[in-house]
Structure 1
Amino acid sequence: MSLAHTDETTYGALAEEMLEVRSGSPLMRPVEAVAALLLVGIIGLLLMGVVSRYVFSIPVVWIDEAASIAFLWLAMLGSAIAIDRAEHLRLTIFLNMLPERLRGLASTLGLLLVATFLAALLEPAIEYVVEESYLTSAALNIPMGWRVAALPVGIGLMLLLVLRDAFRSGTPMNVAGCLAAIGLVLAALWVFSPGLASFGYGNILVFLVGFVAVFLALGVPIAFCFGLGALAFLTFTTSIPTMVMIGRMDEGMSALILISVPIFVLLGCILDATGMGRAIVEFLASLLGHVKAGMSYVLLGSLFLVSGISGSKVSDMATVAPALFPEMKRRGHKPKEMIALLATGAAMADTVPPSIVLIVLGSVAGVSIAGLFTSGFVIAMVLLAVLAILARWKARGEAMEGIRRAPMRTVGKAALVAAPALVLPFLIRSAVGSGVATATEVSTIAVLYALVIGAVLYGGIRPRKMYAMLVETAALSGAILLILGTASAMAWTLTQTGFAFHMAALVTDLPGGWLTYMLVTIAVFMALGCVLEGLPALVLMAPIMFPIAKNLGIHDIHYSMVVVTAMNIGLMAPPIGVGFYIACKIGSVSPDEAMGAIWPYIAALFVGLLLIAVVPAFSIGYL
């Protein structure tokens, strides 16, 4: 995922620069236009359903089906746009350690591995369309082949783009050498495949751990790392047809609840473009800026509230940092301390509704979204408290000369400007938590609300910028959903080996009962959070870990909060955590400089995590 490098202190400049950086090739313009129209169409369909259900009490049964068809097409076209813009999430820390010549060779190898995966899936995807065409949709009464045709179209488009990039960036010698190496490995695996079938659980270590680790180190996007590992496992150790993997990918990336993901991503873009987040920051600054550690409180409180609108950690940090960092520097805060607080504050806020992580977790683990939203709000407050205590201790020597309490008139004016934005996170949480509306319905209402309020009170959004936001949303959503699809295929592959049952028996026999399992969970998800980022770690491990937790008597909401918090701590933990480097880039601070400063804040989050783990009431006491 690319991010703009900026030290601008104006919000508008940051938003403009981020949109300028994320631009694709002219050849993809028609695909971008279709993806933008699909996103608008999905939002329009869902809004029509909300109005017909709640205003006229007439449910329209075909709307969800039509939205589901458009959603899969959006996911696949968005994945192709993300390929074109190089926005698929990948791990580059090991790749960047290589000398420049070897780095180019590794990049070419990574691209050709992705091309191998896509080429291997293209024919099964076409077969899947033929199989599905014999089925008819329940409401629209059309062949289901129209929906799943998005899979071969998207796969074919991505294949062409990856091959273009490989031949454009790699020398002929590098391309030929990489193709030869891939061919030799495939031939060796084919020769030894009869013996591999009897290797048992060793194949998990070879294909689903070893191969995936190598692909990650080569900088292959995470979605394709999972896909390559699962595909190799199925092809060389089982007799299961590859078309099954296509079906699992389809199932993993097209659940109806996931339609809210691109809509909340768009909501975050609207928040950026209208300045609604900045209004919240300025209100909190006028209210708390005069007290010691006040700007740290404002930063944490802003992340808490802004996250409730955007649902995106990147959007949260990009909104808050430019507005607060100049004043914090003036008061003597060191840049490395500010980055540490920004990164861990974003991790804290990831459970605040409408967290995309919670929506995905609810989908893959079968946990109530309403319960997750209610609990996530409380859990974020626990983590907010431990970070605020540390921030107050850190600010004991803060320079407060010349700092005055803002006049009540100023506070009142800031509150009036921020009020429409402040209402939105509580509207989202209460609507879903009370069962009045689903997360998908609330997401569409929130987008409409933000657009109207943004146009009336915050200056609106120019049509050109709105189009750029729609395309950016399609690209980011496609990257997220492809990860969910391939991770679902890999998780299914892992469960088919019977490994999950043996792991359950092993963990159940550990001394200490559910508390020991909580510690194991924390270790697993902190480690996975460092390497895989949040969503793929959840999709991969939730089908295995959640049933074990249930057998041990752990409430699914309680367990979810521990999982998400542990994962977010890992995400922000150097030297591997992706979120840490994103925070450093947004704040224009060297990772080497910030690395030493973040550990006390990581420790504070870990203390909060232990409290959440051992005291279930924090998670389920308000349900």
Structure 2
Amino acid sequence: MTASSTSTADNPDAFSLPNELEPPRAGAWLLRPIEWVSAALMLAIVGMLLAGVASRYLLGAPLTWVDEAVSIAFLWLAMLGSAIAIHRNEHLRLTVFLQMLPERLQGPVQAFGLGVVALFLLALVRPALEYIESESYVTTPALEIANSWRVAAIAFGVFAMLAVLAGHAWRTCRKSHLAGAVVVLAALAAGCWALKPVFADLGTLNIVVFLIGFVAVGLAAGVPIAFCFGIGTLAFIAFSTQVPVGVVVGRMDEGMSSLVLVSVPIFVLLGCVLDATGMGKAIIDFLASLVGHVKGGMSYVLLGSLFIVSGISGSKVSDMATVAPALFPEMKRRGQKPREMIALLSTGAAMADTVPPSIVLIVLGSVAGVSIAGLFQAGVTVALVLLLALAVLARWQARHEQMGGVQRAPLAVVGRTLLVAGPALVLPFLIRGAVGGGVATATEVSTIAVLYAMLIGAVMYGGIGLRKIYDMLVETAALSGAILMILGTALAMAWAITQSGVAQELAAFMKGLPGGVPTFLAVTIAIFLVLGCILEGLPALLLMAPLMFPIAKSLGINDVHYAMVVVVAMNIGLMMPPVGVGFYIACRIGNVSPDEAMGAIWPYLVALLVGLVVVAAVPAISTAVL
């Protein structure tokens, strides 16, 4: 993904008014040094992890300070990247309802959305500063420095986002609209404050008011998803509980600071390296030489590429960013519509998310106490079932494909493309073998994979220039910041739901359902479809996995089998419009309006659901390989 340079009509997720001709550059003076620091932090994280791996496995002397140093750099990267994402219009939001409004109302609603973001950030200023002070009394064990050096990233990121947002709003919104937004938000805040005694008596119904109602209104108004979660959680805590709002900062810190998540930006960077060196394209060219000549062939290539590349990057975002630019032009030439290609891209990414190294599987294994090696083994076979379901539908959709001038590739071409793609094809097996064999963690393997890709790219694929490397580092920071901000606010929201007792009541209800295992699995699918839409992947797992897996075990369901059902259902939900975050990522990568692609994705989602039902009904698909 690159910074947007199109009009808002072409880029409906942008943070600008519908009639804006170009993205705003307000705050560029502030963003330049932030981009420099972000690029340096990304390099430092990769370098420290590589040094840790080399010291442990080559010298037999682990560097005890690496994890702490990486944790500090990672949180700073996440917060600075989030500010860059605001500047680049890369925070994800829903625009379908905004675009349905009359043009005269779009400006005021847009200003209201920016006001909600600003209100959330302003509400975090004092708690973030207090959090620095409270963490100053905590000393890290290895580096022996105050933890305030790490958590200061949250406060700095909040101020940076506020500065960028303020300049942007001043440039793109009418002053009357901004004034109106301030008045409306002030009135809402005052009304909620006056109704605090009423909210106190509502009990768990406050979940509906704040964590559903407020979030839904924010989404409809075009507020970025991360900030919808944040403002809903903040309002729930401030107006319906006695809990200090500062807890939101602590939960955001927890959501964005897990060392497991460090693999997210590194795998995203790996995807950028694959794209820049042409390694990803080499894999695609090889598959195209094999099956590109048949009807639906490019759809098969897209699905196969996602399956293979997923084993390299571990990230749906980098998978889609690698595959789409290489295949979409030829698919368009054959008469496929952009909305159909986006539908196949997004559901294909959902299919491939169980292919190791999957960040979701790694997190689930650690949260639910399930063997990560077992999850990796089962994930491949489950993905093959989903791949077959999508391939059958893709062949049907391609029945009218224009095949004029398309010829079978000669055997010599197939051999040549295989020779070129060979070093890239080795990478998935390197990653899976290292993690599955316990040689290195997923985070460590991701850094080794980046080094391997850089070296092979330099030797066989022409290498990457310094300017391009810098651009990739900044883009990785921006994309990671947008993703991690969602994770941070979603985890705060998940914590609020857990504290309200609703999650425990739900688990008790499910344990008492009639019908045994089939009913339990059906309800599990429904719950994780919804949670995948609303909470995104990792927060949904963090919220429900500790509650659901003991129930599944008490019913005699194999942990790995249940994990596959949960992950697939969650990934399908992630791609389900109008809320699913993954769907909007795919639309941004393919430069297609979500409103246009929304109608085309449903047949592919149904195909995935059919595959999910088969996986749930036949446990051997998940367990036979264990």
TM-score norm. by structure 1 comes to 0.90
CA RMSD of aligned residues (A): 2.9
Q: Which residue of 2 aligns with 1:126?
A: 129
State the distance in 2 between where 1:422 and 1:338 align.
Answer: 24
Read off the aligned partner of 1:619 and give its amino acid letter: S
Q: Is 1:115 matched up with 2:118?
A: yes
Task: Specify the SS of the correspondent of 1:198.
Answer: helix
Deviations 1:17-44 (A, max 9, x none): xxx9999823211111111111111111
Q: 2:71 aligns with which of 56, 68, 71?
A: 68
State the distance in 2 between where 1:389 and 1:271 align.
Answer: 29
Are the counterparts in 2 of residues 224 and 486 from structure 1 also a CA contact under 8 Å?
yes
CA displacement at 1:595 relative to structure 2: 5.6
Q: Is 1:43 matched up with 2:46?
A: yes
Are the counterparts in 2 of residues 5 and 585 from structure 1 also a CA contact under 8 Å?
no
CA displacement at 1:375 relative to structure 2: 2.5
Q: Is 1:87 matched up with 2:94?
A: no
Q: Which residue of 1 aligns with 2:427?
A: 424
CA displacement at 1:51 relative to structure 2: 0.2
Q: Is 1:373 matched up with 2:366?
A: no
CA displacement at 1:602 relative to structure 2: 2.7
Moved more, 446-455 or 327-336: 327-336
Task: Specify the SS of the correspondent of 1:416.
Answer: helix
Q: Is 1:347 matched up with 2:354?
A: no
State the distance in 2 between where 1:231 and 1:598 align.
Answer: 33
Q: 2:393 aligns with which of 390, 393, 397?
A: 390
CA displacement at 1:370 relative to structure 2: 3.7
Q: Is 1:275 matched up with 2:278?
A: yes
Q: 1:520 aligns with which of 519, 523, 529?
A: 523
Q: 2:155 aligns with which of 130, 152, 155?
A: 152
Q: Which residue of 1 aligns with 2:608?
A: 605
Q: Which residue of 2 aligns with 1:464?
A: 467
Deviations 1:293-324 (A, max 9, x none): 43332222112112222334344334334434
CA displacement at 1:67 relative to structure 2: 0.9
Moved more, 257-266 or 237-246: 237-246
Are the counterparts in 1 of residues 2 and 475 from structure 2 also a CA contact under 8 Å?
no
Are the counterparts in 2 of residues 49 and 60 from structure 1 also a CA contact under 8 Å?
yes
Deviations 1:395-435 (A, max 9, x none): 56767676554333222111110001111112111211121
Task: Specify the SS of the correspondent of 1:134.
Answer: coil
Deviations 1:239-259 (A, max 9, x none): 112222222211111011111
Read off the aligned partner of 1:509 and give its amino acid letter: G
Task: Specify the SS of the correspondent of 2:195.
Answer: helix
Q: 1:313 aligns with which of 305, 313, 316?
A: 316
Read off the aligned partner of 1:304 and give its amino acid letter: F
Deviations 1:36-68 (A, max 9, x none): 111111111110000011111111111111111
State the distance in 1 between where 2:91 and 2:370 align.
Answer: 27
CA displacement at 1:505 relative to structure 2: 1.6
Pair 1:608–1:21, CA change in 2 (3 A): farther
CA displacement at 1:477 relative to structure 2: 0.9
Pair 1:552–1:193, CA change in 2 (3 A): farther
Are the counterparts in 1 of residues 335 and 402 from structure 2 also a CA contact under 8 Å?
yes
Pair 1:68–1:327, CA change in 2 (3 A): closer
Read off the aligned partner of 2:391 and give its amino acid letter: A
State the distance in 2 between where 1:409 and 1:599 align.
Answer: 40
Pair 1:580–1:509, CA change in 2 (3 A): same
State the distance in 1 between where 2:224 and 2:330 align.
Answer: 38
CA displacement at 1:529 relative to structure 2: 3.9
Q: 2:569 aligns with which of 540, 547, 566?
A: 566
Q: Is 1:180 matched up with 2:183?
A: yes
Q: Is 1:288 matched up with 2:288?
A: no
Pair 1:336–1:225, CA change in 2 (3 A): closer
Q: Which residue of 2 aligns with 1:16?
A: none
Pair 1:38–1:329, CA change in 2 (3 A): closer
State the distance in 2 between where 1:391 and 1:540 align.
Answer: 35
State the distance in 1 between where 2:173 and 2:4 align.
Answer: 25
Q: Is 1:239 matched up with 2:242?
A: yes
Are the counterparts in 2 of residues 331 and 400 from structure 1 also a CA contact under 8 Å?
yes
Q: 1:451 aligns with which of 454, 461, 475?
A: 454
Pair 1:22–1:615, CA change in 2 (3 A): farther
CA displacement at 1:394 relative to structure 2: 5.0
Are the counterparts in 2 of residues 5 and 586 from structure 1 also a CA contact under 8 Å?
no
State the distance in 2 between where 1:166 and 1:59 align.
Answer: 49
State the distance in 2 between where 1:393 and 1:168 align.
Answer: 48
CA displacement at 1:579 relative to structure 2: 4.5
Q: Is 1:197 matched up with 2:200?
A: yes
State the distance in 2 between where 1:434 and 1:553 align.
Answer: 28
Q: Is 1:217 matched up with 2:220?
A: yes
Are the counterparts in 2 of residues 265 and 312 from structure 1 also a CA contact under 8 Å?
yes
TM-score norm. by structure 2 comes to 0.89
CA displacement at 1:335 relative to structure 2: 5.8
Q: 1:493 aligns with which of 496, 499, 504?
A: 496
Q: 1:253 aligns with which of 253, 256, 266?
A: 256
Read off the aligned partner of 2:316 and give its amino acid letter: K
Q: Which residue of 1 aligns with 2:481?
A: 478
Are the counterparts in 2 of residues 292 and 392 from structure 1 also a CA contact under 8 Å?
yes
Are the counterparts in 2 of residues 112 and 163 from structure 1 also a CA contact under 8 Å?
no
Are the counterparts in 1 of residues 3 and 90 from structure 2 also a CA contact under 8 Å?
no
State the distance in 1 between where 2:5 and 2:364 align.
Answer: 31
State the distance in 2 between where 1:115 and 1:595 align.
Answer: 29
Are the counterparts in 2 of residues 390 and 604 from structure 1 also a CA contact under 8 Å?
yes
State the distance in 2 between where 1:333 and 1:110 align.
Answer: 35
CA displacement at 1:101 relative to structure 2: 2.6
State the distance in 2 between where 1:93 and 1:586 align.
Answer: 18
Task: Specify the SS of the correspondent of 2:96.
Answer: coil
State the distance in 2 between where 1:28 and 1:289 align.
Answer: 44
Are the counterparts in 1 of residues 94 and 578 from structure 2 also a CA contact under 8 Å?
no
Q: 1:554 aligns with which of 554, 557, 560?
A: 557
Pair 1:91–1:545, CA change in 2 (3 A): farther
Pair 1:595–1:131, CA change in 2 (3 A): closer
Pair 1:547–1:98, CA change in 2 (3 A): farther
Deviations 1:252-303 (A, max 9, x none): 1101111111111111111111111110011112222345543332222112
Are the counterparts in 2 of residues 5 and 588 from structure 1 also a CA contact under 8 Å?
no
Are the counterparts in 2 of residues 93 and 576 from structure 1 also a CA contact under 8 Å?
no
Deviations 1:522-546 (A, max 9, x none): 2233344445654555455545544
Are the counterparts in 1 of residues 92 and 584 from structure 2 also a CA contact under 8 Å?
no
CA displacement at 1:92 relative to structure 2: 1.6
Moved more, 457-466 or 597-606: 597-606
Pair 1:308–1:243, CA change in 2 (3 A): same
CA displacement at 1:150 relative to structure 2: 1.3
Are the counterparts in 1 of residues 271 and 322 from structure 2 also a CA contact under 8 Å?
no
Task: Specify the SS of the correspondent of 1:197.
Answer: helix
Task: Specify the SS of the correspondent of 1:122.
Answer: helix
Are the counterparts in 1 of residues 78 and 477 from structure 2 also a CA contact under 8 Å?
yes
Q: Which residue of 1 aligns with 2:512?
A: 509
Are the counterparts in 1 of residues 272 and 322 from structure 2 also a CA contact under 8 Å?
no
State the distance in 1 between where 2:305 and 2:344 align.
Answer: 12
Q: Which residue of 2 aligns with 1:139?
A: 142
Structure 1: where are the runs of 5+ without partners?
7-19
State the distance in 2 between where 1:430 and 1:403 align.
Answer: 38
Structure 2: where are the runs of 5+ without partners?
7-21
Pair 1:102–1:551, CA change in 2 (3 A): farther
Q: Which residue of 2 aligns with 1:442?
A: 445
Pair 1:174–1:491, CA change in 2 (3 A): same
Pair 1:169–1:596, CA change in 2 (3 A): closer
